[in-house]
Amino acid sequence: MVYSLLFKEEQMVEIPDSEYQQLQSRLKELEAQAAEHKQIEEALRESEEKYHSVAERANDGIIIIHDGIIKYVNRRLAEMYGDAVENIMGNPFKKYIAPEELPKVAERYQKRIRGESLESMYEMMIQRKDGSRIPAEVNAGTITYQGKPADLIFVRDITERKRVEEELRADKEKYRTLVENLPQKIFHKDKNSVYISCNQNYARDLKIKSDEIAGKTDYDFYPKELAEKYRTDDKRIMKAGKIEDIEEKYIQDGEERFVHTVKTPIKDEKGNVIGILGIFWDITERKRAEEELANKVKELEKITKIMEGREDRIIELKNEVKELKRRPGEKG
């Protein structure tokens, strides 16, 4: 049997060759594991540097919170808060939430603890160092940070978006005010001639509120023959893609009237017709005046013809009198 000599506590110890080989094999395994761990640590370090670089270049603010304390913020979030990164780290997260938002945040926290499902994205007001506030869109999730559960939150400043939304809302309100104060009746239908909206003037004629017209059709308000006529006009105009002016019959309070209607096909950004916009106004009095005028013209024409006939007869009689006067020997 072959022995190897090893030192242990300054004494020579004889170890069987088989055990020595096992120790050598185990030593190699440990060296391989150490090398692997080193590679993993290096990869993690590189990964951390990479993600840190990405986080620092992100347009959104990024924050990591553990037990309510801020553990990490990127530069963008520090800009939103109006403070330096080092001044923010270690502070309670609630310090940067507008006071009126705290109950909402606390409620979300309690729901998460109870395991209730939550939408990851929501809006809130964040409070800056100088006390001013900005609206933000928050997207929250959970991660493991330094071996502990933590909240990872992405924060987007939506000040500009809110400004645009407010401008659009104001423009929409102005448009609605304009539409509601026009004396004309206005309606909007989809490509199947189903009503989407109308103004109050039209709704009053239909004996409904303007928000009740959505989903209705002309068959809900007019006799079948008239409804089919309106829908046929819609299809023709949408197919042609051109504006049309139409003078047509209309029923209001059970009375037949006349209206002048302008129907315009509505197109999307690709030019596809997706509906129709109609605006019309009552021309009954004008039509009646035109009919009355036409009737008077006819009467005048009749009178004129009668008068012309009488004048012709008078001329004939005068000629006959003259002829009689020229005849010799006749008395009278």
Residue type, 220: D
Considering only residues 50 and 3, tell me which one the structure prediction assigns the higher pLDDT: 50
pLDDT value, residue 8: 46
% of the chain at pLDDT higher than 70:
77
Report the chain's mean pLDDT, rounded to a whole number. Answer: 80
Residues 128, 158 contacting (CB under 8 angstroms): no
pLDDT confidence bin for 36, thresholds 50/70/90 = low
Considering only residues 29 and 38, tell me which one the structure prediction assigns the higher pLDDT: 29
Overall average pLDDT of the 22-37 stretch: 67
For the chain, what is the radius of gyration of the CA atoms?
Answer: 46
Give me the residue label for tokens 């448009």: 175
Give me the residue label for tokens 């939103």: 80
pLDDT confidence bin for 248, thresholds 50/70/90 = confident
Instruction: Evaluate if residue 273 carries a pLDDT over 90.
Output: yes
Could you tell me how far CA 165 lies from the centroid of its own chain?
10
The answer to whether the 54-158 and 182-282 domains have the same CATH topology is yes
pLDDT confidence bin for 2, thresholds 50/70/90 = very low
Residue ranges of the domains in the chain? 54-158, 182-282, 286-326
pLDDT value, residue 267: 92
pLDDT tens by residue, 156-174: 999 999 999 898 888 888 8
pLDDT confidence bin for 265, thresholds 50/70/90 = very high
Overall average pLDDT of the 51-63 stretch: 72
Instruction: Evaluate if residue 40 carries a pLDDT over 60.
Output: no
Return the CATH number of 54-158, one of 3.30.450.20, 3.40.50.11540, 3.40.50.300, 3.90.1010.10: 3.30.450.20
Instruction: Evaluate if residue 272 carries a pLDDT over 60.
Output: yes
Q: Tell me the residue ranges of DSSP E strands in the chain.
A: 3-8, 11-16, 61-66, 69-73, 121-127, 133-145, 148-157, 185-190, 195-198, 244-252, 255-267, 273-282
Tokens encoding 110: 């309690």
pLDDT confidence bin for 122, thresholds 50/70/90 = confident
- Consecutive H or E run containing 213: none
Instruction: Evaluate if residue 106 carries a pLDDT over 70.
Output: yes
pLDDT value, residue 214: 95
Q: Which fold has domain 182-282?
A: Beta-Lactamase (3.30.450)
pLDDT confidence bin for 1, thresholds 50/70/90 = very low
Tokens encoding 129: 């160092």
pLDDT value, residue 294: 76
Most confident of the ranges 94-98, 190-194, 300-304, 320-324: 190-194
pLDDT value, residue 251: 79
Most confident of the ranges 71-75, 144-148, 190-194: 190-194
Query: Please, which residues bridge with residue 61 across strands?
Result: 155
Burial class (CB in 10 A: 0-12, 13-18, 19+), 129: middle
Considering only residues 177 and 33, tell me which one the structure prediction assigns the higher pLDDT: 177
Residues 240, 250 contacting (CB under 8 angstroms): no
Phi first, then psi: give them for residue 9, nearest 5 degrees: 55, 45
Distance of alpha carbon 161 from alpha carbon 177, whole angstroms: 24
Overall average pLDDT of the 203-232 stretch: 93
% of the chain at pLDDT higher than 90:
24
Considering only residues 97 and 48, tell me which one the structure prediction assigns the higher pLDDT: 97
